[in-house]
Structure 1
Amino acid sequence: MHPRLTLAISLMEALALLSYALSGLIEARKRRLDAVGAFLVALATAFGGGTVRDVLLSRRPFYWVEHQDYVLIIFVMAIFAPILLRMTTRLFDERMLLVADAIGLGLFSISGTSAALDAQMPAFTAVMMGVITGVFGGVMRDVLCNEIPLILRDSRPYAVCAFAGCWLYLALERIEFDTIYAVLVSTAFILVARLVTFKLDIRLPH
């Protein structure tokens, strides 16, 4: 694996986790939760999907246990949430947060599919593990904030983008495409699909 590609994946992973955590903090702020509540919501948003995946695949230790640095960063983010959110609204607009969220969706979905393939899961199960990894953090966030999960009330494709991208990753793996490039291509596909469907306001039929 080329060191630059490894670095790129690591940076994307950090961006994805922190953007998911930030979305959790934003929801916690709307609900006027204290620092403890904000931390729990941010943590569940960032690691919820991966934890559910690890439980279903009997993987130990959990991802967030192995990467406690991210947990500590989210802890600090929760403590300084009011200041952080004010800075975020000044530095980043909604479009940049949407891009970060789409990167998270793509990278987490593909990592979930990859983990399922490593566990010798069949193709459809591997794809569903990828979708769970990508979207379940948001489901946990909404449940903790006493809302109907966004993927159930917003008809714009979200899980569908992840589903298609995971099948693309699976196809690339089957033709023995280089794994690191397969991850990048599939993640990029989900990113572009999510942004295009959002921009064009494409919605699934009711």
Structure 2
Amino acid sequence: MVHPRLTLAVSIMETIAILAYAISGFLEARKRRLDPIGTFLIALATAFGGGTVRDVLLERRPFYWVEHQEYVIVIFVASFFAPYVLRLVSHVISERALLIADAIGLGLFSVAGTSIALDAEMPPFIAVLMGVTTGVFGGIIRDVLCNEVPLILRDSRPYATCAFVGCWVYLLLARMNVDSVYSVLMATGFILVARLVTYKFDVRLRH
């Protein structure tokens, strides 16, 4: 039996991940001097774009953000106060904390996407690709909407690679019949550590 605290931990990580991705959208919108509606669209796309693309490919309905409108409402309201939100975040939360939150988002979204694809009876490799799509595609959509070459295509530091390997770790744990909550936490932890270590030591992939 899974301890309720573990389930709570996953829920807290989910909230941190969504807010971290939304803040990433706020930052990009501020660079572009977008109005509140534009800010909302960019933040929403960053936070839920990957999951939406996954759900479209898997023909899965309703979309996650439709089922959890509370996140959408929070992002919508925050978009009208984005400059103040970012100012507060910069004073309260360090750049390192934002990096950790983003890494949590990458890990949790990627693993969750893999799990959903497995539930849809996708083969393992496709399930992993769906997981990576969930983790990274929000940032790709954000950059495309802002008329930029996606960061993931011009930054040689491993990002999607960490998610890709971590999703295989999740598959391995699932094959070993490890409880799903433990599997999510361990695979997410692997991606988190891999992302932070490669970032700290400036590991880069060959062009």
Q: How does 1:15-30 map to 2 (within 5 A)?
A: 15-30=16-31
Tell me the equivalent position of 1:185.
186
Equivalent-residue separation in structure 2 for 1:3 and 1:19 (angstroms): 24
| Identity percentage of aligned residues | 70
Q: Which runs of 5+ in 1 are unaligned?
A: none
Query: Once the two structures are superposed, what CA deviation does each residue of 1:110-133 show, in whole Å capped at 9, x if it has no partner?
Result: 000000000000000000000000
CA distance in 2, matches of 1:90, 1:145: 26
How large is the RMSD of aligned CA atoms in angstroms? 0.6
CA–CA distance in structure 2, aligned partners of residues 112 and 36 of structure 1? 28
* Length-normalised TM-score, structure 1: 0.99
- Relative to the length of structure 2, the TM-score reads 0.98
Cα deviation for residue 92 of structure 1 reads: 1.3
Task: Tell me the SS of whatever aligns to 2:38.
Answer: helix
1:48 maps to 49
- In 2, Cα distance between equivalents of 1:172 and 1:88: 36
Shift in Å, 1:149:
0.5
Instruction: State how many pairs are aligned.
Output: 206
Instruction: Find the aligned partners of 2:15 and 2:122 in 1 and give their Cα distance.
Output: 27
Deviation (angstroms), 1:186: 0.2
Does 2:105 correspond to 1:104? Answer: yes
Q: Distance in 2 between matches of 1:195 and 1:9?
A: 19
Give the ranges of 4+ consecutive aligned residues of structure 1 lying more than 3 Å apart after TM superposition: none
Counterparts of 2:75 and 2:124, CA distance in 1? 34
SS at match of 1:53: helix
In structure 2, the gaps of 5 or more residues are none
In structure 1, distance between residues paired with 2:30 and 2:115? 34
Give the Cα separation in 2 of the matches to 1:20 and 1:161: 17
Partner of 1:33: 34
- Secondary structure of the structure 2 residue equivalent to 1:97: helix
